[in-house]
Amino acid sequence: MTYAPIRLPHRPPHHTPEQFVHDFFTSFTEAALTDADPGEVVDRFHTRDVVQMSDGTRLDRDRLVAHLRPLRKNLREYRFDVHRVVADGDCIAAHLTIHARMRNGAVVATEVFQFGQFTADGRLRRSEQITRTLTTPS
Per-residue pLDDT tens digits for 13-25? 657 999 999 999 9
Is 79 buried (19+), middle (13-18) or exposed (0-12) by CB count in 10 A? middle
The amino acid present at 77, given as its one-letter code, is: E
Segment 85-101, tens digit of pLDDT: 999 999 999 999 999 99
Class of domain 17-133: alpha beta
pTM, 2 dp: 0.85
Question: How is residue 82 annotated by DSSP?
Answer: E
